[in-house]
Structure 1
Amino acid sequence: MSKEVKKEEAIAEGHFRISNLWKEEDWLAIWIGFIVIAIGSISVLTGAFDFSALKFSTWGNGKSLLEQFTPSFGAKLLLTAFVLGTLFTIGNVLRGKKVKEYLPAFAGIFALAVLVRLISAEYTLNRYLEWAFFALAVGLLIANTVGVPNWLKPAVQTEFYIKAGLVIMGFSVLFSNIVNFGLYGLGIAWLVTPIVIIFMWFLGTRVFKINNKPFVITLAAATSVCGTSAAIATGAASRAKKSDLSVTVSISIIFTVLMMVFEPVLIRVSGIGELMGGALIGGTVDSTGAVAVAGTALGETAQTAAVLVKSIQNILIGFIAFAVAVFFTTHEKNADGTKQKVTIAEVWYRLPKFILGFFAASLIASFVVVPLAGKDAVSGINTVLDQYKNWAFVLAFTSIGLDTNFREIKEQMVGGKAMALYIIGQTFNIVLTFAVVYLLLSGKFFPLPTLN
């Protein structure tokens, strides 16, 4: 009996083997994420050792790149390579891969990731473009010129790196952020976001007639939530192709840069004030990092409001990915076009388990670590974890580039539907967000909140 047949029977009968917990990619991503979270937490709470991953300092603009190549730099580089190399190698061995094939390939991918982080730390590039752009660019350049060498291919594992990174990211998504901005933040972030997703879904599938539905929902999530991270989670939940992610991230990055630069200028000209302006930025600019930069351009109050709204919005990533996974599973059709009968067992089987890890990390941070150790301790832990998350994402996006050719991207862009869908969707997002921001924060309908 073929593996495919056995797999389908397992779905139909709702079989779950305990070995799935250490053999399936989703579960292994959870364990990798929680190992990193656990070690990072112990290092910060006890102060016994430094678990910080390598982070390039900004160079250029009068600061030499060579200045940061210190013994400490080398030690952190080795630590980062050792931790990620060991965990992902063990994960691959448990999945039946060979160490002698994966480990050299991982070393190659990690070297490319170091190059990406180096390029993205340059002063001018760092101000306007995220590392995700350079990771894609380096991978695409190799894939579409000299080609990906066979020895490197075993480590081109986009989903595995993404899933582990998202579990680590879950620890930074604190439910306590809701308290800081109360119903104001909930109204702006949670009311607008699902409406924009539904609007873009119907616009893409019914008006533009885009048949690639995983791409539509991935682009919609990236537009309405937080760009790259939302695209990663939703793309995995809907089983979007790597080229779908490439196009989504490319479009998101382009407009994130434009909005980060020009939205604060337009807000200042309009005279709507820091509080409303910051909330508008938080609800409409895709990237969390870009939100902080754009908010700072308006002032301290704007930055606080922007980051709070985006933080509350980020909590939705897991819920949206879960909803997308259930939706796509229950709406799949058979080859003859008839609606597939979906059981609870099948929904469970197809549900991306790493989302459970994301939620678990968030809940532990919010309701266990914060009460026991305090917010400052969690902030310190997240400072350490943030770099491991970024390294996992750089590995993922470099893999996407290596696994994508320009022809696939060109096919997605035919007729300009993808770009039109984003522009119309983002315009709708801005208008709706402004309406809700005006309702809640103009002071004409509700008392204004006090931000610390």
Structure 2
Amino acid sequence: MNDSDAAVEPVSVKPGLTEDVIAIIVGILLLAMCFTAALVMGKPKVEGDQVTAITSPLKGWVDKPGGWKANPVESFVGTAEKPKTTWPGILGAVLILGVFMTAMAPVMRPFAKPGAFIGGFLILFALAGLSYLLAGQATIKNYNLEYALWALLVGLIIGNTIGKSAFGAMGEAAMRTELYIKTGLVLLGAEVLFSRLMELGMPGIMIAWVVTPIVLISTFWFGQRVLKMKSASLNMTISADMSVCGVSAAIATAAACNAKKEELSVAIGLSLCFTAAMMVVMPPLIEVMGLDQVVGGAWIGGTIDATGAVAVAGGLLGETALEVAATVKMIQNILIGVVAFGVAAYWTTRVETEGGEAPKIGLGEIWKRFPKFVLGFIAASIIASVLYASSDQGEMLVGATTSVTKGLRGWLFCLAFVCIGIDLNFRQLAHQFHGGKPLVLYVCGQTLNLILTLAMAYVAFKIVFPEAAGG
């Protein structure tokens, strides 16, 4: 992309709902739709005199491309020996997600015209479908090259060739990485029962709330005293980005320490590059190291920057790893507001600023920076937990609901990683690394983060709270 991109008709900056709020609304509505369908039209599975399960009528209408060997058509209709029709489920997924997301387009921030949004959404969905298709090829599948990697590669190819500008206003309207990730995580809440969430809470706090401040402060000190970085605000923004949760923490911290726009871009660029690499590398590394899913999931949750990447990487290890990784990351996300508050206080009282007003601090700052989609995740978990514990039918209805929402969640994550790839333009990022010090800072800080988080994950789940590792 270049300066000519500015000619593309931009989305309007009219007031609207934040991505966190929209993610909660869409996520809860999707869960309610799937639950109602199972309750009203669910088909009971009877064994003897007892109902053992309920099948959702939407189950066949949410699917992804299946496996294939030589002919890609097999991914949609199966083979003569094993017929499996997936194309109705693919159409159903794009219809459900497309309708719900497009309905929210007029109230999104920034505002998006519904026509432009649905056009861009369909393009992104086609690219996500291509990613699933590539991941389903038999040889590729044997090497465990999952859909997230292909979604990222597909996006990278587009982002570093024709660029996002090729999609015009449609691309601008529908390219909403955080929205897709956060909506998927609200759906995930229904799969993580609250009793389990509480069980993972204390070890999660040990990992996220002990290691994160240590890494943040150490990395900032290292940048100022050892690397002698000229910009303290760049140093702090990168430190928060790497130690807390990537882009969201970078934005919050940049505002708290009056970082320049180009400094924020450097931090985000580094975050995207390392998130993509760690998402792909960590799951097989954990398997090679012989770590179990609980410790491995906690390691992923505490170190990979982006919440969506954490969920995807955890999912590559297994359902238990996904559950632990997502929970640890949610707990870590809560620190965004606290970190922004602390940085603002530090900058106000200790750091000399050149011109402008010192950042304002207060409890309102914590709420402003708090990742509110976490509330949707917790609400979904509580509601599902209450229903699950209420009766055998409630347990079966929750199972029928999540059997559909898992598929929708997968599509949302796939859409998000296509967007990440498209946004990651290496030519734009190359000139931003000011003599290499930001890169050195990130590598050293992330190395410390990896070591401390792994050690704390082992201590938390194997020594202090071993019962939490039992699932």
TM range (shorter): 0.7 to 0.9
Aligned pairs for 1:268-283 within 5 A: 277=292, 279-283=294-298
Secondary structure of the 1:54 match is coil
Is residue 89–residue 99 contact of structure 1 (8 Å, CA) maintained in 2? yes
Change beyond 3 A, Cα 1:130–1:88: same
Residue among 419, 429, 438 paired with 1:399: 419
- How far residue 374 of structure 1 moved from its aligned partner, in angstroms, is 4.5
The answer to whether the aligner puts 1:111 opposite 2:126 as a matched pair is yes
- How far residue 35 of structure 1 moved from its aligned partner, in angstroms, is 1.2
Where do 5+ consecutive residues of structure 2 fail to align?
A: 1-13, 43-55, 78-83, 255-263, 302-309, 348-352
Residue among 63, 80, 92 paired with 2:93: 80
The answer to whether the aligner puts 1:384 opposite 2:404 as a matched pair is yes
Q: Deviations over 1:374-407 (max 9, x none)?
A: 4454333223112212222222222222223103
Is residue 53–residue 387 contact of structure 1 (8 Å, CA) maintained in 2? yes
Change beyond 3 A, Cα 1:424–1:376: farther
Residue among 186, 201, 206 paired with 1:167: 186
Secondary structure of the 1:191 match is helix
Q: For residue 29 of structure 1, what is the amino acid of its counterpart?
A: A
Aligned to 1:431: 455
Aligned to 1:32: 26
Residue among 337, 344, 358 paired with 1:325: 337
Aligned pairs for 1:39-438 within 5 A: 39-46=33-40, 47=42, 49-51=57-59, 52-60=61-69, 64-70=71-77, 72-95=85-108, 96-126=111-141, 127-148=143-164, 149=166, 150-151=168-169, 152-177=171-196, 188-209=203-224, 211=234, 213-221=236-244, 243-264=269-290, 277=292, 279-285=294-300, 308=320, 311-312=323-324, 314-329=326-341, 331-332=343-344, 336=355, 339-372=358-391, 373-410=393-430, 411=432, 415-437=439-461
Aligned pairs for 1:6-17 within 5 A: none
Secondary structure of the 2:295 match is helix
Worse-superposed segment, 322-331 or 110-119: 322-331
- How far residue 246 of structure 1 moved from its aligned partner, in angstroms, is 1.7
Is residue 66–residue 86 contact of structure 2 (8 Å, CA) maintained in 1? no
Secondary structure of the 1:115 match is helix
Worse-superposed segment, 151-160 or 34-43: 151-160
Is residue 44–residue 380 contact of structure 1 (8 Å, CA) maintained in 2? yes
> What percentage of residue pairs aligned between the two structures are identical?
23
Is residue 331–residue 339 contact of structure 1 (8 Å, CA) maintained in 2? no
Q: For residue 429 of structure 1, what is the amino acid of its counterpart?
A: T
* TM superposition score normalised by structure 2: 0.70
Distance across 2 between alignment mates of 1:258 and 1:159: 26
Distance across 2 between alignment mates of 1:291 and 1:155: 26
Aligned to 1:271: none
Worse-superposed segment, 382-391 or 339-348: 339-348
Change beyond 3 A, Cα 1:293–1:86: closer
Q: Deviations over 1:135-163 (max 9, x none)?
A: 22222211211222124332212232223
Is residue 200–residue 421 contact of structure 1 (8 Å, CA) maintained in 2? yes
Is residue 189–residue 313 contact of structure 1 (8 Å, CA) maintained in 2? no
Distance across 1 between alignment mates of 2:107 and 2:380: 23
Distance across 2 between alignment mates of 1:316 and 1:158: 21
Q: For residue 424 of structure 1, what is the amino acid of its counterpart?
A: L
Change beyond 3 A, Cα 1:154–1:283: closer
Distance across 1 between alignment mates of 2:114 and 2:286: 43
Q: Deviations over 1:105-138 (max 9, x none)?
A: 2221111111122223334544534433322222
Q: Deviations over 1:410-432 (max 9, x none)?
A: 44676443233323321222233
Aligned length: 392
Secondary structure of the 1:128 match is coil
Distance across 2 between alignment mates of 1:293 and 1:108: 26
Change beyond 3 A, Cα 1:294–1:80: closer
Change beyond 3 A, Cα 1:121–1:144: same
* TM superposition score normalised by structure 1: 0.73
Worse-superposed segment, 81-90 or 392-401: 392-401
Q: For residue 58 of structure 1, what is the amino acid of its counterpart?
A: G
- How far residue 439 of structure 1 moved from its aligned partner, in angstroms, is 3.0
Q: For residue 454 of structure 2, what is the amino acid of its counterpart?
A: I
Is residue 85–residue 103 contact of structure 1 (8 Å, CA) maintained in 2? yes
Distance across 1 between alignment mates of 2:396 and 2:252: 33
